[in-house]
Chain A
Amino acid sequence: GQQVQQSPASLVLQEGENAELQCNFSSTATQLQWFYQRPGGSLVSLLYNPSGTKHTGRLTSTTVTKERRSSLHISSSQITDSGTYFCAINTGANTGKLTFGHGTILRVHP
């Protein structure tokens, strides 16, 4: 079946540093999204980026579909960015079914 690999598994930053999260997937993805989950919280969609580069606020995602990889760049990290970041893909069939990676746990310290 489809596999989604995320790296690193965890990341610790000082406030103000930048973060780079990676996502590699085994099948061609027709849909790729990045989600964020605060400890004990729900998932919030950050960026929908099946190909190319997308920006929102301090977040930039670049997806290279042919190479089956995507990255999420967080600039000038803040303490409130701490949480788990998930990459998820939908490989088609119009079902909306998402396959998730294991996530990257980000901790930002003051």
Chain B
Amino acid sequence: ETAVFQTPNYHVTQVGNEVSFNCKQTLGHDTMYWYKQDSKKLLKIMFSYNNKQLIVNETVPRRFSPQSSDKAHLNLRIKSVEPEDSAVYLCASSYTGGSDYTFGSGTRLLVI
């Protein structure tokens, strides 16, 4: 099956903990993205990698850091989570320039 796979689906953690989310795509795309969807469903891009190179780095808190081992994997680490980090984190991939955009099923983070 070719798609964008995210783990975990759901994660509950306490303020101050560190979390990591994984994303893998088997579509042969060369660009991957992390988007954050807030409680009002607004989607905003956080990071984008093209062939393991960071090409989009929006203004996000420094506790967020992406990690890409190869063009098929893009993980997201959050050090010392805060309540406002509660959201759905969506991974996506595409070909260079944005064609064939495909999203994963998302990771829902709840910080208590």
Contact = CB atoms under 8 A, between A and B. Distances in A.
A41 interface: yes
A86 interface: yes
Nearest to B6: A42
Interface stretch (B63-71, B73-81, B98-106): B98-106
A55 interface: no
A83 to B, nearest CB: 11
Contacts of B40: 102
Contacts of B96: 94, 96
Interface string B22-59: 00000000010100000011111100101000011000
B61 interface: no
The residue in A45, A86, A88, A96 that gathers the most chain B C-beta atoms within 10 A of its C-beta is: A96
A interface majority secondary structure = strand
- Interface range for A: 20 to 34
B41 A102 contact: yes
A95 B102 CA distance: 15
- Interface range for B: 20 to 34
Interface in A70-90: 84, 86, 88, 90
Given A43-B90, A95-B55, A96-B48, A90 B43 contact: no
A97 B48 contact: yes
B98 A45 contact: no
Nearest to B102: A45
Nearest to A45: B101
Interface string B77-112: 000000000000010101011110111111000000
Contacts of A31: 97-98
A3 B57 CA distance: 18
29 contacts: A31-B97, A31-B98, A41-B105, A42-B104, A43-B43, A43-B90, A44-B103, A45-B101, A84-B41, A86-B43, A88-B43, A90-B98, A94-B96, A94-B97, A95-B50, A95-B56, A95-B98, A96-B33, A96-B48, A96-B94, A96-B97, A96-B98, A97-B45, A97-B98, A98-B45, A98-B98, A100-B44, A102-B41, A103-B41
